[in-house]
């Protein structure tokens, strides 16, 4: 959890400090937006690296991901510029998408399925910790020393992360048999209806989440004309709701069973989506609505991971990497539709479409359960 917070801090810090990076580099915000678009699209390439942890081992996959991350952070630490920042954003997300499936597969190999939801939830706390702790620390460094100040620290932390993983993860891995044929892993996933249905669940849930994700800041500004204050409050609410969602998964998902927990999350997020425009008539109501929306989405997302670890055990890392692809494509779809729906029909329809995506995810879950 603590080591993964390092990767997630580097990933999440770009959003709040995007304009500061642009000013520090002397470029337009649209140039930074193009960088963010490129970084998002890289997420869809994760299947290219999926077989690494199945063929070479979980430890190799984790260490390779960290090495790529350190290289990305290091180029900015040595020579801060627009192009080195572009390299850093791309390499850091590549490193994250190599590390995460390898790490999840490592736990999937070792932790009994009945306890895996709790373990995955604890690891996922790193996502909210990055927002609550990591990003403010990076903000302090930027305010004190300039836009590139986080990168030397993140480089050093990445090297520390490499050494810890090298030391604590065993070289010999009796829990995983190395595969020789990458195609077999892909074939095992793409010929499994439960696996494809599982990927569809996260694609739909992520699309619904991104619809609101992209638009809620604009909605708050249009509704209350208090952009800075409202977004500051919303950021705090999102961080707390993510942490709460991860905590709920840790305490309930294994007890309820993964499919039931996922059903509760999808239905809850659909209801929170529909509720949001109605209780969001005041700023306080909007923040309450966002809290409910994000806690139910985080509960859905984190409950989904342990379920996916057991669908194709023979190609676990490949399965989890393709799951990340579904997540990335869902976000891309939601981001594409968000502005169109909001501009043409308003926030109510954004919320309704988010609910529809969740219900589509629920239908995919039912197909997965029938075909298992």
Tell me which H or E stretch contains 19.
helix 18-25
Nearest to 245 by CA among 308, 302, 182: 302
The alpha carbon of residue 325 and the mean position of all alpha carbons in its chain are separated, in whole angstroms, by 11
155 or 321, which is more confident: 155
Question: Taking the domain 185-371, which CATH number applies?
Answer: 1.20.1250.20
Tokens 């994000």 -> residue:
294
pLDDT for 165 = 95
Question: Tell me, what's the pLDDT at 128?
Answer: 86
Residue ranges per domain, the chain? 2-16+25-179, 185-371
pLDDT at 27: 85
309 three-class SS: coil
Listed in sequence order, the DSSP H helices in 43-175 are 46-49, 51-56, 58-78, 82-110, 116-129, 135-145, 150-168
Across all residues in the chain, what is the average pLDDT? 86
Checking if the pLDDT of 236 tops 80, the result is no
Confidence of residue 28 (pLDDT cuts 50, 70, 90): confident
Name the band, by pLDDT with cuts 50, 70 and 90, for residue 228.
very low
Distance CA 198, CA 200 (A): 5
* pLDDT tens digits, 35-48: 777 777 776 776 67
pLDDT attached to residue 180: 60
Give the pLDDT of residue 234. Answer: 63
DSSP 102-135: HHHHHHHHHS-GGGHHHHHHHHHHHHHHIIIIIH
Identical fold for domains 2-16+25-179 and 185-371, yes or no, is yes
CA dihedral (302, 303, 304, 305) positive or negative: positive
pLDDT tens digits, 284-307: 888 889 899 989 999 999 899 889
- Mean pLDDT value of segment 265-270: 96
CATH number for region 2-16+25-179:
1.20.1250.20
Q: What is the mean pLDDT of residues 229-246?
A: 72
Q: What is the pLDDT of residues 162-171, one digit of tens each?
A: 999 999 998 7
**In the 8-state DSSP scheme, what is residue 181?**
-
How high is the pLDDT of residue 230? 55
Model confidence over 52-72: pLDDT tens digits? 777 778 899 999 999 999 999
Give the number of C-alpha atoms closer than 13 A to the C-alpha of residue 156, restricted to the C-beta side: 4
Q: How far is CA 107 from the centre of its chain?
A: 18
């Amino acid at each position: 959890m603590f080591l993964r917070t390092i990767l997630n801090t580097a990933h999440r810090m770009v959003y709040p400090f995007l304009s500061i990076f642009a000013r520090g580099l002397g470029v337009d915000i649209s140039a930074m937006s193009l960088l963010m678009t490129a970084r998002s699209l890289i997420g869809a390439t994760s299947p290219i690296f999926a077989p690494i942890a199945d063929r070479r081992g979980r430890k190799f996959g984790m260490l390779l991901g960290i090495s790529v991350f350190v290289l990305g952070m290091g180029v900015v630490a040595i020579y801060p510029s627009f192009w080195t920042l572009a390299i850093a954003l791309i390499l850091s997300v590549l490193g994250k998408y190599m590390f995460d499936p390898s790490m999840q597969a490592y736990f999937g190999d070792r932790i009994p399925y009945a306890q895996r939801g709790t373990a995955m939830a604890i690891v996922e706390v790193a996502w909210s910790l990055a927002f609550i702790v990591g990003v403010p620390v990076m903000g302090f460094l930027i305010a004190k020393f300039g836009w590139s100040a986080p990168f030397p620290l993140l480089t050093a932390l990445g090297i520390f992360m490499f050494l810890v993983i090298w030391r604590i993860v065993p070289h010999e891995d009796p829990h995983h048999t190395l595969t020789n044929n990458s195609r077999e892993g892909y074939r095992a996933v793409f010929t499994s209806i439960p696996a494809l249905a599982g990927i569809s669940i996260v694609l739909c849930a992520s699309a619904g989440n991104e619809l609101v994700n992209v638009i809620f800041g604009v909605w708050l500004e249009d509704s209350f004309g208090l952009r800075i204050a409202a977004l500051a409050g919303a950021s705090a609410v999102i961080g707390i709701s993510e942490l709460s969602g991860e905590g709920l998964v840790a305490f309930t998902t294994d007890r309820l069973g993964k499919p039931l927990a996922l059903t509760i999350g999808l239905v809850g997020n659909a209801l929170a989506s529909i509720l949001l425009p109605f209780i969001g008539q005041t700023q306080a109501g909007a923040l309450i609505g966002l809290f409910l929306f994000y806690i139910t989405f985080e509960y859905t997302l984190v409950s989904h991971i342990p379920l996916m670890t057991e669908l194709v055990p023979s190609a676990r890392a490949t399965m989890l990497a393709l799951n990340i692809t579904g997540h990335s494509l869902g976000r891309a779809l939601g981001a594409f539709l968000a502005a169109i729906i909001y501009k043409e029909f308003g926030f109510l329809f954004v919320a309704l479409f988010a609910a529809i995506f969740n219900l589509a995810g629920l239908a995919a879950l039912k197909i997965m359960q029938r075909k298992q």
